[in-house]
Amino acid sequence: MMKKWILLTLIIPTLAFAEKKWITIGKDAIPAIRELLNISYENIDSADDIELIEVNDKDLELISHLMHHKFKRCGGYIFHDTKSEALETLHSTERRSIAKNFKFKGYEVTDDERIHQILTQVSEKRIRETITKLSSYHNRHYQSKTGVEALNWIKQKWSGLTAHRSDVKVEAIDHKKWKQNSIILTIEGSENPEEIIVIGGHGDSIGSGFWNRKKSKAPGADDNASGIATITEIIKVLMDNSFSPKKTIKFMAYSAEEVGLKGSAEIAKKMRNEKRDVIGVVQFDMTNYKGDDFNIYLINDHTNSEQNEFMAQLIDTYVKVPWGYSKCGYACSDHASWTSNGYPASFPFEATFDGANKKIHSERDTIEHSRGTAEHAVNFAKLGLAFAMEMQI
Ligand code: BES
Ligand code: ZN
Is residue 284 within 8 A of residue 319, CB to CB? The reply is no
Going by CA atoms, what residue is nearest to atom 10 of ligand 1? 333
Is residue 112 within 8 A of residue 61, CB to CB? The reply is no
Going by CA atoms, what residue is nearest to atom 21 of ligand 1? 332
Q: Report whether residue 63 contacts ligand 1, using a CB cutoff of 6 Å.
A: no
Which residue of 226, 333, 350 sits with most ligand 1 atoms within 8 Å of its CB, as the best mutation to test the pocket?
333
Query: Who contacts 361 (Cβ-Cβ below 8 Å, separation ≥6)?
Result: 68, 206, 207, 208, 218, 223, 258
Nearest to 91 by CA among 125, 136, 45: 45
Q: What torsion, rounded to 10 degrees, do the Cα atoms 81, 85, 91, 95 define?
A: -120
Is residue 293 within 8 A of residue 352, CB to CB? The reply is no
Going by CA atoms, what residue is nearest to atom 3 of ligand 1? 332
**Residue 338's pLDDT is what?**
97
Q: Among this protein's residues, is 65 annotated catalytic?
A: no
Q: Report whether residue 260 contacts ligand 1, using a CB cutoff of 6 Å.
A: yes
Per DSSP (E only), the strands in 237-371 are: 247-254, 277-283, 296-299, 323-326, 345-346, 348-349
Q: Among this protein's residues, is 191 annotated catalytic?
A: no
Atom number of ligand 1 nearest to Cα 261: 18
Q: Among this protein's residues, is 334 annotated catalytic?
A: no
pLDDT tens track of the chain, all 393 residues?
Answer: 444 455 545 555 545 566 888 988 888 788 888 877 778 888 888 887 788 999 888 888 888 888 877 666 545 678 888 888 888 888 876 655 444 434 788 889 999 999 999 999 999 999 999 999 999 999 999 999 999 999 999 999 999 999 999 999 999 999 999 999 999 999 999 999 999 999 999 999 999 987 888 999 999 999 999 999 999 999 999 999 999 999 999 999 999 999 999 999 999 999 999 999 999 999 999 999 999 999 999 999 999 999 999 999 999 999 999 999 999 999 999 999 999 999 999 999 999 999 999 999 999 999 999 999 999 999 999 999 999 999 998
Cα 189 to ligand 2 centre (Å): 32
The count of other CB atoms within 10 Å of the CB of residue 369 is 18
Which residue of 299, 328, 332 sits with most ligand 1 atoms within 8 Å of its CB, as the best mutation to test the pocket?
332
Q: Among this protein's residues, is 316 annotated catalytic?
A: no
In sign, the C-alpha dihedral spanning 259, 277, 199, 100 is positive
Q: Among this protein's residues, is 285 annotated catalytic?
A: yes
**Residue 96's pLDDT is what?**
58
Number of C-alpha atoms within 13 angstroms, CB side, residue 178? 22
**Residue 88's pLDDT is what?**
85
Cα 330 to ligand 1 centre (Å): 9
Q: Report whether residue 23 contacts ligand 1, using a CB cutoff of 6 Å.
A: no
The count of other CB atoms within 10 Å of the CB of residue 238 is 24
Cα 258 to ligand 1 centre (Å): 7
| Catalytic-role residue among 51, 59, 195, 223 | 223
DSSP 203: -
DSSP 377: H
Nearest to 137 by CA among 363, 374, 373, 333: 363
Taking the mean position of all CA atoms in its chain, how far away is CA 240?
A: 26
Atom number of ligand 1 nearest to Cα 258: 19
Q: Report whether residue 333 contacts ligand 1, using a CB cutoff of 6 Å.
A: yes
**Residue 56's pLDDT is what?**
87
Is residue 276 within 8 A of residue 197, CB to CB? The reply is no
Q: How many residues does the chain have?
A: 393
**Residue 101's pLDDT is what?**
39
Q: Report whether residue 332 contacts ligand 1, using a CB cutoff of 6 Å.
A: yes
Q: What are phi and psi of 283, to 5 degrees?
A: -110, 130
Q: Report whether residue 285 contacts ligand 1, using a CB cutoff of 6 Å.
A: yes
Q: Report whether residue 390 contacts ligand 1, using a CB cutoff of 6 Å.
A: no
Amino acid at 244: S
Is residue 65 within 8 A of residue 213, CB to CB? The reply is no
| 312/325 Cα distance (integer angstroms) | 10
Atom number of ligand 1 nearest to Cα 328: 8
**DSSP SS3 for 326:** strand
Q: What are phi and psi of 90, to 5 degrees?
A: -55, -50
Q: Report whether residue 334 contacts ligand 1, using a CB cutoff of 6 Å.
A: no
Residue 56, CA distances (Å) to 20, 62, 79, 80, 214 in order: 5, 11, 12, 12, 21
SS3 track for 115-166:
HHHHHCCCCHHHHHHHHHHHCCCCCCCCCCHHHHHHHHHHHHHHHHHHCCCC
| Catalytic-role residue among 51, 195, 222, 257 | 257
